Structure 1
Amino acid sequence: MIGPPGSGKSKVGRILAAGLGVTVRDTDTDIEAAAGKPVSEIFVDDGEPRFRELEREAVLAALAEHDGVLSLGGGAIMNPATQEALEKYAADGGHVVFLDVPLAIAAQRVGMNQARPLLLGNPRAQWQKLMTERRPTYERLATLTIVSSERPGEQVAAEIMEALGLDQGVPELVDPKRGTHESTEESTT
């Protein structure tokens, strides 16, 4: 899954993986585990170039090792090696799903989230700038584009499964601590 911050990649990825009976992997989580600190601290302590290097390594490793649902950070697709790997993955029959989202919805979801260092300052303007730069690449790499909008993650996952001809069904994702459905917000960049 590819897409901008606030598109729902993390949540929809978890739901989709549960519906398919496979595992989900998030490259931002892999990066944080490898670095031993949150993405926001990597940006501050080591800089964006180091983060992008770690991101490239995480994406390439995940594509080589993981056979479930994979959620990529919003900017991962800008690396030429990642683009090449995703193109090969798609050519080999894999699905690259672009979760698109309108700015107004993304802004509600990401707000002033400190964990999203590229959106600090003016999140709406920064998000729009990132999308202007990234949209052509998202669209070129995608084998399927789904607009997540305001719909619950379960509906978005069901639409993906239907579009891909997968009929397993999508279970409801319930927060075991509260017994309620999870919010539509993502937790990573």
Structure 2
Amino acid sequence: MADELARLAPQLAGRISRTVVLVGLMGAGKSCVGRRLAARLGMDFLDSDVEFEAASGSTISDYFARFGEPAFREGERKVISRLLDGPPVVLATGGGAFVDPATRERIKRTGTSVWIRADLDLLLKRTVGRDHRPLLKQGDPKEILGRLMEARYPIYAEADIIVDSTDEIPEATVIRVMAGLIEHLNSESK
């Protein structure tokens, strides 16, 4: 695995001129993979949820409870837009960010989107028992995630690159993302 990472990294050196935006459902591994990917690419890593909390002075759960999802999505849209205006980074977004038409269009214009796709069982394994997922507090997590998959997966499929996250070490997904970036950049340069 280390050999594969070492082989792929030079193929991307100096070629990434746009923010790499990781999209997908909660639990897909966007933040975990994003940190490792950024380190491999020599780029900074940002998480739009962390940036939202810093800008709002509130946790996402508290913000959701006080102001509701529409207000959160508006704030999230503004934060992501600001981050996309900055220098290229690896950016992990919240699960609903790419679903928002304005945010999706902004990402398409100024970033390179990567859908980290995961199956229901893996998402459940990674999210159940965590208290910071407001959407999962509204009923049965399996049913909620299933509904979110049905609604969001066709939209996530609009991403520039699609990679699968599996129940293996995060570096395996990082390799798939790097290979996808190389293929995407090569197709753009033709």
Identity of aligned residues (%): 37
Alpha-carbon contact 1:112-1:123 (below 8 Å) kept: no
- SS in structure 2 at match of 1:96: strand
- Structure 1 residue 162 displacement after superposition: 2.2
One-letter amino acid matched to 2:153: R
- SS in structure 2 at match of 1:165: helix
Q: Does 1:97 align with 2:114?
A: yes
2:128 corresponds to which residue?
111
Give CA-to-partner distance per residue, 1:18-38, whole Å, 9 cap, x none: 000110011101110011111
Correspondent of 1:156 among 173, 177, 184:
173
1:187 corresponds to which residue?
none
Alpha-carbon contact 1:4-1:74 (below 8 Å) kept: yes
- SS in structure 1 at match of 2:112: coil
Alpha-carbon contact 1:2-1:98 (below 8 Å) kept: yes
Q: What TM-score do you get using the length of structure 2 for normalisation? A: 0.81
Q: What TM-score do you get using the length of structure 1 for normalisation? A: 0.81
One-letter amino acid matched to 1:130: L
Give CA-to-partner distance per residue, 1:15-63, whole Å, 9 cap, x none: 0000001100111011100111111111111211111111111111111
Q: Which runs of 5+ in 2 are unaligned?
A: 1-21, 184-190
- Structure 1 residue 79 displacement after superposition: 1.5
CA distance, structure 1, for counterparts of residue 76 and residue 120 of structure 2: 24
Instruction: Name the one with the larger helix percent.
Output: 2
1:83 corresponds to which residue?
104
- Structure 1 residue 112 displacement after superposition: 3.1
One-letter amino acid matched to 1:152: I
1:135 corresponds to which residue?
153
One-letter amino acid matched to 1:18: A
CA distance, structure 2, for counterparts of residue 162 and residue 83 of structure 1: 23
Give CA-to-partner distance per residue, 1:56-95, whole Å, 9 cap, x none: 1111111111411011100011212112112212xxxx42
CA distance, structure 2, for counterparts of residue 49 and residue 107 of structure 1: 25
- Structure 1 residue 164 displacement after superposition: 2.0
CA distance, structure 2, for counterparts of residue 13 and residue 66 of structure 1: 16
Q: Does 1:18 align with 2:36?
A: no
After the TM superposition, which parts of structure 1 deviate over 6 Å for at least 4 consecutive aligned residues? none
Q: Which runs of 5+ in 1 are unaligned?
A: 167-189
